[in-house]
Amino acid sequence: MSSFRQDFIRFAVQQNVLRFGEFQTKAGRLSPYFFNAGLFNDGVSLRNLSQFYAQAILASGLSFDMLFGPAYKGITLAAAAAIALAEQGLNVPFCYNRKEAKDHGEGGTTVGAPLKGRVLIVDDVVSAGTSVRESIELIRAAGAVPCGVAIALDRMERGQGELSAVQEVQRNFGIPVVSIVTLDDLLGYLQGEAALVQNLATVQSYRNRYGVKND
Give how far Cα 64 sits from Cα of 115, 138, 208, Å: 12, 17, 35
List 73, 99, 104, 213, catalytic entry: 104
Q: Is 102 a catalytic residue?
A: yes
What is residue 56's three-state secondary structure? Answer: helix
Q: Is 99 a catalytic residue?
A: no
**C-alpha–C-alpha distance, residues 149 and 169, integer Å:** 9
Helix (H) or strand (E) run with residue 10 in it: helix 3-14
**C-alpha–C-alpha distance, residues 112 and 4, integer Å:** 30
**C-alpha–C-alpha distance, residues 213 and 154, integer Å:** 13
The amino acid that residue 132 corresponds to is V
Task: Convert 34-70 to b/e letters by CB count within 10 Å (16 or more is b).
Answer: ebbbeebeeeebbebbbbbbbbbbeebebebbbbbbb
List 26, 73, 99, 102, catalytic entry: 102
Which residue numbers are catalytic? 102, 104
